[in-house]
Amino acid sequence: MVDTPAAEPSPAAPGYDQGSIQVLEGLEAVRKRPGMYIGDPHDGTGLHHLVWEVVDNAVDEHLAGYCDAVQVTVHSEGSITVVDNGRGIPVGMHAKGVSAAEVVMTQLHAGGKFNSDSYSVSAGLHGVGVSAVNAVSEWLKMEIRREGKLWFQEYARGVPKAPIEPIGTSKKNGTKITFKPDPQIFTMTNFSFEVLNNRLREISFLNAGLEVVLEDERGEGKKVTHKFEGGIREFVEALNKKKTPLHDSVIYLHAVKDGVDIEIAMQWSDSYNESIFPYTNNVFNRDGGTHLTGLRTALTRVINQYGSREKLLKDLKNPLGGDDVREGLTAIISVKHPDPAFSSQTKDKLVSSEVKGIVESVVNEKLSQYLEEDPKSGKRIVEKAVLAARAREAARRAREMVQRKGVLDASTLPGKLADCQSKDPSESELYIVEGDSAGGSAKQGRDRRFQAILPLRGKILNVERARFEKMLSSAEIGTLITALGCGVEGGDNFDIDKLRYHHVIIMTDADVDGSHIRTLLLTFFYRQMPKLIDNGYLYIAQPPLYKVKRGKKLRYLQDDGALSRFLIETGTDNVRLSMTAGGTQLTGEPLRNLLKDLSRFRLLLENIGHRVDPLVVEALVTATDLAVGDLADKAKIETALEAIGAHVSAKRQGELSARIEQDEEHDRQRIVIETQHGVTRRTTTIDFDFLSAGNVAELRQIHQGIVALGRPPFVVTMLDKDGKPTEDSTEVPDIESLWANIDARARRGLGIQRYKGLGEMNPDELWETTMDPEMRTLLQVRIEDALEAEELFSVLMGDQVEPRRAFIESNALNVTNLDI
């Protein structure tokens, strides 16, 4: 045995020692790594997840039998309120030395969901929900109605400002949470009404009898109420209202076995697509799981057994396959489980093994019973499946004709494809362009090393209305399938790993035809290659809307917002804002920030004006300093009312009357102001909620910044290239007139061209604006809401004309920038 000298210990990595080990206390971990708890804070998923966490708590109260109404309100400045009439979060002192409510709001893995005595079924199982929301909020305000009192507590970035305290009395029970996502964490802070509405409607469907109200105080102000006594039966009816059902009534199966509550609603239609949506404890399981497997297995067995028994399958060589049985099926399966197991924290897949057998048992028993009792519907369902089986065989033969010999064999690629030189899918891009002319520009402007161009002539087949074999016989569809190289999901040869390009980019004109072609392509990918979307490989090119030119300088702008920002930047170049009485002078970025604040101030007043008199709000903000605490002081209220009345009267003619009422719940008073201007009569109530609202606080903050500048009039002076004032000066009478002056200066000598199509761009412009990876903007296609996507494709691309006409009529006035 040979002795070898011991190796010298390698030095530790520099800067890594015991001091490098961090322990994140309280909610600090959530702020440090928000994606682990609430999803991506940059693309909107994390932002909306905050709402789901708070709403889930209200739904859990409903499941426990204590809540029948939830209201969600989106406020104009970006905050959101969720109110329920459940039991209210407990407020008594916890063993940790603070109230139980504060423990829930500030401690991860704290809550009542771990105790089956409090909640037998819950969507939230890990206790990180509302505390994570608190952690990533700029501020959060909590009101709890419980034990005859109204309790209040406020937080700033997860830290309580003061202990919880009773501020009034209440005969109601429930919890009210208002929070504003922290812009330090979220790059996207604008809540989508559609995303909120779709999920809240879904929650109402899944919980029969629960009323869910969504109110949006932004823009024109929208308010919708969802309440469905029929539960998931109405859900399926709603999904199928754009289709022609094979049987009139929705099949509803329900049973409770071994403590697991199973609800299934299903209906077959004449469509060619399968739409099954699985849920566990109100959470959509994107990747399915054991409940979906159980349902599919049992459906295939029951329909084959029934078809054989009724001698409806005698012309088939083989039994019906699962795809045959489920063609045209729309179904919801909702499982309420006391202790479900998921594959991940995001709950995308249910893995509780016992659920499969329970679901199979329920479907075997109850669907067989339904088919026996309604043989007319049973016969239609089986006949539909038999037609699907025959079409599947025809599709197999058609598929064999379009299969490629080799994935990267250029000799099999379609002639119109201008392929790229790279064979590495991770860096290769395929531009699907509209028409040969745009295709020619794209071919000339591209980087042929990694960018391929596939021009499509005319409009491709609408796959929503076509069977698989007809789709494969379409020349344009066949060209597209061959170019991509991975097959289609309806076939045996689909393999996402054989996809030749990891950036598949749809590039069409911004006119009506371009939008239609883009929709047809999205329909194809959604129905036949959904994994391209799931894996993030599908994109839509975003050509610029404007080209602006001054002298020889060119700039491309993406949309109206970019044009507005450009005009502010250009209009403030070499400009100084000063007071006639001397004092503050603004140039450059401070001046631009002032204009952005002015724009924001006007927008907030405009949004708030749909509910109250904006002039009264302006008077409250600019002429008073009335705060929440002052509502208990009648003298301060009367002083504020006098100032509001003087401000409103100075700005317009009309009547103004006011009264002071008692607000017992908050142990304060409220002011009710009624104004009439012409025929318009408005009521504005200034109370605890109104003065606590984020929009009032933001309006005051902006106003204080403007006041700090000094008193108008202002002087706008042009500066020379050395920053010295010229003789070009204009006096501006007030702050509201400033924007018009700056806008006029920005447009002087500026040529603004609005693009209508890709054909207007030469190859260099197309490369620079739309195809250069360093400069372009791509919109990644994702399915945020599978149900909404399903319904929308059925409306826009299905056989039913009336739903499409209704959609167009209801959305026509919302269209902007339409080129015909």
Query: Looking at the annotation, which residues are catalytic?
Result: 434, 509, 511, 513
Structure tokens at 192: 């989508």
Contacts of residue 308, defined as CB under 8 A and 6 or more positions apart, other chains included, come to none
**Which has the closest alpha carbon to 815: 512, 444, 476?**
512
Reduced to 3 states (helix: H, G, I; strand: E, B; else coil), residue 112 is coil
How does DSSP classify residue 513? H
The neighbour count for residue 223, using CB atoms within 10 Å, is 11
The neighbour count for residue 708, using CB atoms within 10 Å, is 8
Reduced to 3 states (helix: H, G, I; strand: E, B; else coil), residue 95 is coil
Contact status, residue 420 vs residue 495, Cβ threshold 8 Å: no
The neighbour count for residue 393, using CB atoms within 10 Å, is 13
How does DSSP classify residue 769? I
Residue type, 194: E
The 3-state secondary structure of 22-43 reads CCCCCCHHHHHCCHHHHCCCCC
**Which has the closest alpha carbon to 478: 414, 545, 523, 388?**
414
Sign of CA pseudo-dihedral 332, 337, 341, 345? positive
CA 380 to centroid of chain Cα atoms: 39
Query: Rounded to 5 degrees, what angle do the CA atoms 159, 160, 165 make?
Result: 170
Reduced to 3 states (helix: H, G, I; strand: E, B; else coil), residue 566 is helix
Sign of CA pseudo-dihedral 433, 438, 442, 443? positive
Buried b (16+ CB within 10 A) or exposed e, 3-19: eeeeeeeeeeeeeeeee
Reduced to 3 states (helix: H, G, I; strand: E, B; else coil), residue 404 is coil
Counted residue by residue, the chain has a size of 820
DSSP H helices in 464-538:
468-473, 475-484, 512-528, 530-534
Element housing 787 (H / E): helix 786-797
Contacts of residue 268, defined as CB under 8 A and 6 or more positions apart, other chains included, come to 245, 246, 247, 328, 329, 330, 380, 381, 384
Element housing 279 (H / E): strand 275-280
Reduced to 3 states (helix: H, G, I; strand: E, B; else coil), residue 803 is helix
Structure tokens at 588: 């450059």
